[in-house]
Amino acid sequence: MAAVCGGYAKHSKLGVRAAFIIRFAAKPNSTWPSLKFHPIVRKMKSIQTPLLAYVVASATLLFSAATAQAQEIKGDAKAGQGKASLCIGCHGIQGYQASFPEIYKVPKISGQGGKYIIAALNAYKKGDRKHPTMRGISETLSDQDMADLAAYYEVHGRVEGTSLPAQPAKTPAPAVVALLQKGACVSCHGNNFAMPIDPTYPKIAGQYNDYLFVALKAYKVEGNAKVGRANGIMGGIAKQFTNAELKAMAGYISTVDGDLKTVPQSRFR
Ligand code: HEC
Ligand code: HEC
């Protein structure tokens, strides 16, 4: 997925460049009709077709190269298990707490969707997510490392033959129902908060209460070098709520049954 993102990014950058060239070439004919017969324009017109063909051909070539590259990166859970020795000191200890920017439990990542794990790691690596420790760690990870770790954590702690109810067993207080409706949370995270509509979106049911609150608040922070999450989707949503409201929603979501776990692991296996 990391590579898919990279591929799209490369492609969209190219798209912008291609669009610019096409518009430049097309402009004299469409929006500057009076220049139509200027010698330069006539010259441009004659190069327009081969130029366009070149742009389209190279865009197609580059895009298929990027897609081929993306397909090559396949996560290997076994390799991920070895690489997870970097992670278990925090994510493999029940109740382990982070102390920055406040004290809260290190999130459960076992059972989280693999594509979301990769998206989150890339968000730290790119700096969209500012948390300093996770930024430092993600900067050491290659696309292959991320894919392997994601393949490992996605199924880590999964108990075969169990499935979650489609709706949460516990109904929230009416005030929380209203908040969840205002933010349309289930429309993306799923009716039970554990079936996101897109695999790059997180499962949030049963995540630690204090972590959910810290994460939600982080989407509201702007212009801070060490705290905050720049995300086009959650930024707009979190900013509609007060911290007390975010806390109320986090409290409820943390009580919903989900796939997420902290699986205690020894460093010395
Ligand atoms: C020093 C402790 C520490 C280590 C080591 C660590 N993490 Fe984290 N991790 C955290 C903390 C704290 C957060 C929450 C950061 C935040 O608030 O955004 C986090 C967040 C994450 C998230 C985002 C979770 C979510 O629900 O969005 C992922 C994914 C993650 N870590 C994966 C890893 C992986 C994979 C490794 C090993 C390569 C690792 N972490 C190593 C402390 C750690
Ligand atoms: C339009 C889709 C959408 C809606 C609606 C939505 N979310 Fe999200 N949510 C996302 C995406 C995408 C992310 C991942 C953002 C990122 O990469 O940081 C996310 C991330 C989160 C996280 C961070 C999870 C973690 O593990 O760090 C929490 C908590 C969350 N959403 C709660 C909510 C709540 C509560 C609501 C309703 C008030 C809501 N979301 C509405 C798409 C949505």
Ligand 2 centroid–CA 202 distance in Å is: 7
- How does residue 249 score in pLDDT terms, banded at 50, 70 and 90? very high
Ligand 1, atom 41, lies closest to the CA of 87
Give the range among 43-57, 152-166, 201-215 with minimum mean pLDDT. 43-57
* Rounded distance from Cα 77 to ligand 2 centre (Å): 26
Ligand 2 atom with the smallest distance to the CA of 207 is 26
Tell me how far the alpha carbon of residue 201 lies from the centroid of ligand 2, in angstroms. Answer: 7
Burial call 218-246: b when 16+ CB within 10 Å, e when fewer? bbbbeeeeebbbbbeebbebbeebeeebb
Mean pLDDT of the chain: 82
Report residues whose beta carbon is within 6 angstroms of any ligand 1 atom: 86-87, 89-91, 98, 106-107, 109, 117, 120-121, 129, 131, 133-134, 137, 149, 202, 214-215
Distance 251 CA to ligand 1 centre (A): 21
The pLDDT tens digits for 186-195 are 999 999 999 9
Q: What is the pTM of this model?
A: 0.81
Which range is least confidently modeled, 69-73, 131-135, 219-223? Answer: 69-73
Give the distance (Å) from ligand 2 centre to CA of residue 183: 10
Give the pLDDT score at 57: 53
| Digit-coded pLDDT (tens) for 23-66 | 333 333 344 333 344 444 444 444 454 544 555 455 555 555 55
The closest residue, in CA terms, to atom 37 on ligand 2 is 185
Q: Given ligand 1 and candidates 91, 133, 153, which is best to mutate, with the most ligand atoms within 8 Å of its CB?
A: 91
pLDDT of residue 199: 98
Per-residue pLDDT tens for 86-119?
999 999 999 999 999 999 999 999 999 999 999 9
Question: Average pLDDT of 243-247?
Answer: 98
Top pLDDT among 162 and 146 is at: 146
Quote the pLDDT of residue 161: 87
Q: Is 73 in the pocket of ligand 2 (CB under 6 A)?
A: no
